Amino acid sequence: MKYLTIVYLGLVLGLVMLFFQDPELEESIERGSEIYADFCVTCHMPNGEGVAHTFPPLANSDYLKLNREASIRGIKYGQDGELIVNGVTYNNTMAPLGLEDEEVADVMNFILNSWGNSSETKVTLEEVAIITE
């Protein structure tokens, strides 16, 4: 009986996840993971933990949650100067990556939904396109 209950709950949870996931977001996250592997992993590390006092963590990042537009701008145009992430000050330069707006949206969706981060709002191409330097 206990086994059947566990199987039943697992099936219900699986169906709920299947029907309520945004397939466009899932595809964007998948593309974003590839972009992250190509452009971001060297500094921010495979698990988004960054390098202490050099490259800020993306994992469980309060900065990402509180500074969505600035985060998009940083990926789109690069970033220079001080920023505080999880109470630690970082002062380094991130060169522009040369990504298209759709790639910026995809990598943001990946980052915002990985390593303890969670975003209920998908970053869209339109949102990235209106952000200027």
pLDDT of residue 113: 97
For the chain, the structural domain boundaries read 24-129
Q: Is residue 58 predicted with pLDDT exceeding 80?
A: yes
Q: Smallest Cα–Cα separation from 63: which of 41, 39, 79? A: 79
Q: Smallest Cα–Cα separation from 64: which of 121, 108, 30, 126? A: 108
Q: Smallest Cα–Cα separation from 57: which of 83, 79, 30, 96? A: 83
The 10s digit of each residue's pLDDT in 8-45 is: 555 544 444 444 568 999 999 999 999 999 999 999 99
Number of other residues whose CB lies within 10 A of the CB of residue 28: 23
Enter the tokens of residue 57.
């963590």
Residue 94 in 3-state DSSP? strand
Enter the tokens of residue 26.
């899932």
Say if pTM beats, i.e. exceeds, 0.75. Answer: yes
pLDDT of residue 124: 97
CATH architecture of structural domain 24-129: Orthogonal Bundle (1.10)
